[in-house]
Amino acid sequence: MQETQKKINTNGTENTKTFRKDDQICDMFNNISARYDFLNKILSFGIDCRWRKKLVRELKPYKPKQVLDVATGTGNLALRIAKIKPQTIIAVDVSEQMLRLGKEKIKKRKLDKLIKFKLASCDELPFDNESFDTVAIAFGVRNFEDPLKAMKEVYRVTENDGVVMILEFGIPKNPVVRIPFLIYFTKILPIIGGLLSGKKYAYSYLTTSVKKFPFGKDFVEILDKAGFVDTAFKKCTFGVTYLYIARKNSNYC
Return d(Cα 207, Cα 103) in angstroms, integer: 28
Query: In this structure, are residues 116 and 91 in contact, taking their beta carbons and an 8 Å threshold?
Result: yes
List CB contacts of 13: < 8 A, sequence separation 6 or more: none
Return d(Cα 252, Cα 172) in angstroms, integer: 33
Query: In this structure, are residues 221 and 246 in contact, taking their beta carbons and an 8 Å threshold?
Result: no
pLDDT tens column, 24-47? 777 787 777 666 777 777 778 889
Tell me which residue of 190, 192, 196, 184 sits closest to 35, measured CA to CA. Answer: 196
Domain ranges for the chain: 21-247
Return d(Cα 105, Cα 115) in angstroms, integer: 11
* pTM of this structure: 0.86
> 21-247: what CATH class?
alpha beta
Lowest mean per-residue pLDDT among 6-10, 13-17, 124-128, 188-192? 6-10
Return d(Cα 52, Cα 44) in angstroms, integer: 13
Return d(Cα 33, Cα 3) in angstroms, integer: 25
pLDDT tens column, 216-251? 999 999 999 999 999 999 999 999 999 999 999 877
Lowest mean per-residue pLDDT among 96-105, 172-181, 197-206? 197-206
